[in-house]
């Protein structure tokens, strides 16, 4: 199998989608796509850091234990699944999306391709942007 630079950042809020997650990950594995799970405690990291890009260091933790604990309890909550795709050509992206549909993976509304602009955003900021775009597009379709 050819090794590619394709990576999927996958955020799962853990709300009962285990079967869907297993189906999706099996598609990624068959296609040779690396999977990086984004955990709830990672939402304040930059997308570039999570995707393994050079020049995007891990966010420095707060100085003392009390401040660090306060930061962790104030993490923003993302209630939806998110896919961020890195290193995909247009053709490979089409193949991936078709393979997910064929495997019976329910649609994930919040998807993005890693770009120079969004790589500097926190994962939570990316979520907010995707949520706004999705709401705007859904509103346009209803009219």
138 pLDDT above the threshold of 60: yes
Place of tokens 């990950």: 25
- HSE at residue 47, side-chain half, CA atoms within 13 A, is 27
On the 0-12 / 13-18 / 19+ scale of CB atoms within 10 A, 22 is: exposed
CA dist 2 and 38 (Å) reads 25
| pTM as predicted | 0.85
Reported as a single tens digit per residue, the pLDDT across 45-100 is: 999 999 999 999 998 876 555 555 555 557 899 999 999 999 999 999 999 999 99
């Amino acid at each position: 199998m050819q090794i590619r630079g394709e990576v999927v950042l996958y955020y799962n809020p853990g709300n009962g989608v285990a079967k869907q997650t297993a189906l999706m990950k099996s598609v990624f594995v068959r296609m040779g796509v690396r999977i990086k799970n984004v955990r709830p405690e990672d939402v304040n990291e930059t997308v570039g850091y999570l995707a393994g890009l050079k020049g995007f260091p891990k966010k420095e933790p707060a100085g003392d234990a009390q401040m660090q604990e306060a930061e962790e309890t104030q993490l923003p909550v993302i209630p939806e699944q998110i896919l961020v795709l890195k290193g995909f050509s247009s053709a490979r992206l089409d193949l991936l999306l078709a393979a997910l549909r064929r495997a019976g993976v329910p649609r994930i509304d919040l998807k993005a391709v890693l770009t120079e602009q969004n790589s500097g955003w926190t994962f939570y900021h990316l979520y907010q942007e995707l949520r706004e775009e999705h709401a705007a597009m859904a509103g346009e379709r209803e009219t």
